[in-house]
Structure 1
Amino acid sequence: MFRRLAYTIAGLAVVVLAVLGSLLATGERGLSGRADHIRSPFGPRTVDTYRADAAEAERLGWSPGALDRVLDYVSRLSADTFIIMTDGEVVASLGDIEQPHSIHSARKAMLSAVVGQHVGEGPNEVPLDATLEELGVDDSPGSLTPLQRRATVLDLLHSKSGINHPAAAEGGLTAEKDERLGNTENEPGTIWAYNNWDYNALTTIFEQRTGLSVAQAFETGIAEPTGMEDYTLDSVSYSEAPDRSQHRAVMFKMSGRDLGRFGQLYLDQGVVGDAAVLPRSWINRITIDFAETGIGGLRAGHGFLWWLPDPETGLPEGSYFAWGLGQQSVFVIPAWNTVIVHQSDTTEFLKRWFDLQRQGVGGDTALEQILEGCLEKDALKTEFCREHRFTGRREFNRLISAVAAARHQRGP
C-alpha cells in the first residue's frame, strides 16, 4: 500500500496547535515494545472499564485475554475515553464516554464530512474544481499571488494548495510546513503538506457557498441522522487570528460515544438505516485518492483530511483515522468492521505547558520537562502525571499495536 519513505477556545487553540507542532518534531514515529508484553512505569488508574464476556468477544473476533491487557495498558495512560466497537457492539471501553472533550485536529475529518455532503456545481454547493480566484478567495494581511489563486477546492482537500501563508490555530506547525513548501510559490496540486491554511480556507469556502455554518451543517447533516446525544451547536467554535489570516479555524468538542457514531457512519459507507447520509463515493476517496506523507507508521498517508496507517502498524489495509493533539482519534477499520475511539482531556497539560512558556521556557523544552518529569520516581504517582499528563506518541503506538494483537490472537 505504501512505499517506505524516508480554551478560551480561540486563544487556547493557538497554544494547542503550537504543542502539536512541537510533537510533530519529536520524532516519535515507530512502534516500540512487544504488543503482547506492553509495560508502563505508571500504575493502573481507578477508572471504569468494560469488556464483553469471553464468548461474545471471541464471536466478534477478539481475544478476551488480550483485550484485558489492552484495557490494563490504557488505564495506565492519561486516556479519558477509549472504545472498541465491532459490528456496532461495544467490545471494550474505558472512562466516561458521554463527556465531551476537545478533539483538536481530528476536527478536520468533521469538516471533510460536511463538505462531502454539499459537493456540486449548483447554488449552495461546493464545486471541487473551482479555483480560489473563481470563488473570490484571497487573504490578508498578505494577498495571494495569481499562481496561488489557481489552487482548487480539491487541492485544499488534498492538502496540496502549495500555499505557505500564515494561518489561524497554526502555532508551531510552521516549521514542517516551511520545510515542505519553502517560502516561494509552488504549483498547486504538486506538494503535500499538513497545512492549516488549506483547512481554514476550506472552512471559509464551505460557509460562503452553502450559507451554513459548519456547526449547523454538522448538526443537521451528521449529528441528527446518526443519533448523536452530546453534540450541540455550542460544540463548535472558531479560532481567529486576523493579524495572520482572515480565514478562521473551526474547532469541535465531542464525546466518545458520538465519535463512535461518526466512525460508524463511515464504516457503514454513509448509510444510516435506509437513508444515505454521506455519499459512498466520498468515503471511498479517502483510501483511493490519498497522498503518501513520507512520515510512515500511523501517518503514512493522508486522504481527504483523514490519516492512513502503514500495514506494518498491525492495522489492515483500508484503515484510516482522524487524529489530533493528545492522540484524540477515531479509527475506521473496515476489514475488522470496527471503530476505535481514544480521547484525553488536555486541559491541565496545556495549562502547565503554557505556564512554562510564560516563564520563558521554549516550547520543545517545556514539553520535554513535562513528559520527562512525569517519569521521575517521585512524580509517577502524582495526580497530574497519572491523570493529566500528555499521552505520548510512543505510548499511543504501543496501544494500537496491542489492539492489533488482540484482534489477531485467539484464546486467553
Structure 2
Amino acid sequence: MKRKTALWVSGLIVIAALCLTYLFMTGENGLSRPSAPERALDITRLSDEKAESLGWHSGRLDAALSHAATLSTDSFIIVTNDQVVGAFGNLEKPYATHSMRKSFLSALVGLHLGSGPGQINLDATLQELNVSDTPGPLSAKQRQATVLNLLKSVSGINHPAAASGGIQADIDKRLGHGENEPGRIWAYNNWDYNALTTIFEDRTGLGIAEAFDKGVARPTGMEDFSVDAVSHILDADLSMHKAAAFRMSARDLVRLGQLYLHNGRADNQQVLPESWIDRAVEDFTETGNDGLRWAHGYLWWIPGPETGLPEGSFWAWGLGNQALFVVPEWDTVIVHQSDTTEFLKRFLPMIEVDGMEGEAAIEQLMLSCLERGNRESEYCVEHRFTTRREFDELMALIARARI
C-alpha cells in the first residue's frame, strides 16, 4: 500500500511539473480529434423558457452541452442566479483539482489579512518573515520579495521547487538565472505558491486543510469536502516548501464560486472580504498569452476580451482542464472536471519503465486516441485528456450561448 501511495504521489508531482508545458502544447499541434463519439450522458437542463429567462439561448446551450459530452469530462455544471442551468456527471464525487489549489490558497490568505499575530501582512518581506530555502538559500535581494509579490506571481525568484520540472523552461525564459528586482516580472512559478503555503501555515498556526475546512467549507455549506481531501507534496532535494493538493467535488466548487460571485457572502454572513475579491479582477498582470490565460492576479486567471467572456470574469485552472469560472456579469458559476486517474495509470509506466520524457508521453497518449482502432476505446472516450483547443472551444460555445 505504501509503495502504491508513493507511486501515486510521484506521478502527481511529475504531472504537476508538466502542467504549463501541457497548457501551451495541447491543442496547438493537431492533437484534438475530429468527430469524437458523443457519450451517453444523463444531462440535466432547465426548460427552454427558464433557461432563456436566465439569459441562455436554449439551442446554443444544447450545442455547448453536446460538445462537452464528446470530451472526457466527468462533471460539468453551469449555475446562474443559484439555479442549475445545465449539468451532467457525478457532482458529488471529489476529483484531484491539481493547480486549482492556488486559487484556494488565495482565498485563505484573504481570510487572514492583517499585521497582527496570526495574520498575514501582504507588505511583509521574506526577510522579515524569516523565509529562505534549503538546500539552496535565497539571496539578500530575493528575500526582499513580499507576500504580495508571491500572490501576484512577480517575486522574480527562480529557485528549484516541487512540481516545477516541465514548467522550468518557461520560468528560465522569463526570469533567467540571475537576480531580479521583486515585483517586475510575471512568471507562473510554483516556488512562489509553495513558499506562500509555508508563510500561511507559519503565520496563522493553521494547516491548509484545517483552515480551508473552518474558513471556507463550513461557512459555504460544502457537502463533500473533508480535511482528508488535502495532501502535501514535498521534494526536499529541491526545496523545503511543500504544495498542498486538494480533491473537491463539482458541487463544492460551485459553493466556492458562489462565495466569490456573492461578494464574499454566504448564509447572510461576510465570509471573505469583498475588497479581496475585487483585487483579483482589478490588480492583475498580463501574462503575454492570449485567450483564457490572458492575465493572472491573486492566483486567479483572467480571460482576454476575445474569449467572449465579459470583463470582470476570472477562473481557477488545473491540469486536465479542471476549471472553476466566476462570471459576475452573468451571475454565473461554471465548473468543469476530468478525472486524471486512468491517465496516470498509463503515464507513469511510460516515464518510470520506458524512460520516456514527460512531454513525449503525454503527446503519445493523445495521439493514440486519434488512431481509428483506439478512438472508441473506453480510455479514449471516457478518460483521455481534453486538449486545450477542445476546452477553448467549449468555453467559446458557452459564451455564444448567452443571449
For Structure 1 versus Structure 2, the TM-score category normalised by the shorter chain is: over 0.9
Following superposition, the deviation at residue 369 of structure 1 comes to 1.1
1:98 is the counterpart of 2:97 = no
| Structure 1 residues 320-365: Cα deviation after superposition (integer angstroms, max 9, x where no partner) | 0000100001000001000000000011112212221230222222
Q: Retained in 2: the 8 A contact 1:51–1:67?
A: no
How far apart, CA to CA, are the structure 1 residues paired with 2:20 and 2:341?
17
Following superposition, the deviation at residue 69 of structure 1 comes to 1.4
1:393 is the counterpart of 2:388 = yes
1:244 is the counterpart of 2:238 = yes
Aligned to 1:350: 344
* Counterpart amino acid of residue 78 in structure 1: S
Following superposition, the deviation at residue 66 of structure 1 comes to 1.3
Q: Retained in 2: the 8 A contact 1:21–1:171?
A: no
Following superposition, the deviation at residue 258 of structure 1 comes to 0.2
How far apart, CA to CA, are the structure 1 residues paired with 2:203 and 2:11?
29
Match of 1:273 among 254, 267, 289: 267
Q: Retained in 1: the 8 A contact 2:94–2:224?
A: yes
Match of 1:75 among 60, 69, 73: 69
Aligned to 1:384: 379
1:406 is the counterpart of 2:383 = no
> Aligned pair count?
396
Structure 2: runs of 5 or more not aligned: none
Aligned to 2:147: 153
Following superposition, the deviation at residue 141 of structure 1 comes to 0.6
How far apart, CA to CA, are the structure 2 residues paired with 1:133 and 1:28?
42
| Structure 1 residues 290-332: Cα deviation after superposition (integer angstroms, max 9, x where no partner) | 0000011100000100000001011111100000100001000
Following superposition, the deviation at residue 174 of structure 1 comes to 0.7
Aligned to 2:191: 197
| Structure 1 residues 121-178: Cα deviation after superposition (integer angstroms, max 9, x where no partner) | 0010001100000000010010000000000000000101100000112231111111
Aligned to 2:21: 22
TM-score (norm 2): 0.95
1:365 is the counterpart of 2:360 = yes
Aligned to 2:46: 52
Aligned to 2:167: 173
Following superposition, the deviation at residue 40 of structure 1 comes to 4.4
1:216 is the counterpart of 2:215 = no
TM-score (norm 1): 0.93
Q: Retained in 1: the 8 A contact 2:264–2:271?
A: yes
How far apart, CA to CA, are the structure 1 residues paired with 2:28 and 2:290?
7
Matched residue of 1:330: which SS?
strand
Aligned to 1:374: 369
Q: Retained in 1: the 8 A contact 2:61–2:398?
A: yes
* Counterpart amino acid of residue 109 in structure 2: V
Aligned to 1:164: 158
Task: Tell me how large the CA RMSD over aligned residues is.
Answer: 1.6
Following superposition, the deviation at residue 42 of structure 1 comes to 1.5
Following superposition, the deviation at residue 13 of structure 1 comes to 2.3
* Counterpart amino acid of residue 371 in structure 2: E
Matched residue of 1:172: which SS?
coil
Aligned to 1:117: 111
Q: Retained in 1: the 8 A contact 2:57–2:401?
A: yes
Q: Retained in 2: the 8 A contact 1:17–1:173?
A: no
Following superposition, the deviation at residue 63 of structure 1 comes to 1.2
How far apart, CA to CA, are the structure 2 residues paired with 1:317 and 1:363?
36
Following superposition, the deviation at residue 29 of structure 1 comes to 6.6
Matched residue of 2:64: which SS?
helix
How far apart, CA to CA, are the structure 2 residues paired with 1:114 and 1:165?
24
Following superposition, the deviation at residue 12 of structure 1 comes to 2.7
Matched residue of 1:15: which SS?
helix
Quick check: 244-253 or 353-362, which moved more? Answer: 353-362
Following superposition, the deviation at residue 25 of structure 1 comes to 4.1
- Percent sequence identity is 54
How far apart, CA to CA, are the structure 2 residues paired with 1:27 and 1:345?
17
Q: Retained in 2: the 8 A contact 1:162–1:188?
A: yes
How far apart, CA to CA, are the structure 2 residues paired with 1:285 and 1:25?
27
How far apart, CA to CA, are the structure 2 residues paired with 1:275 and 1:211?
24
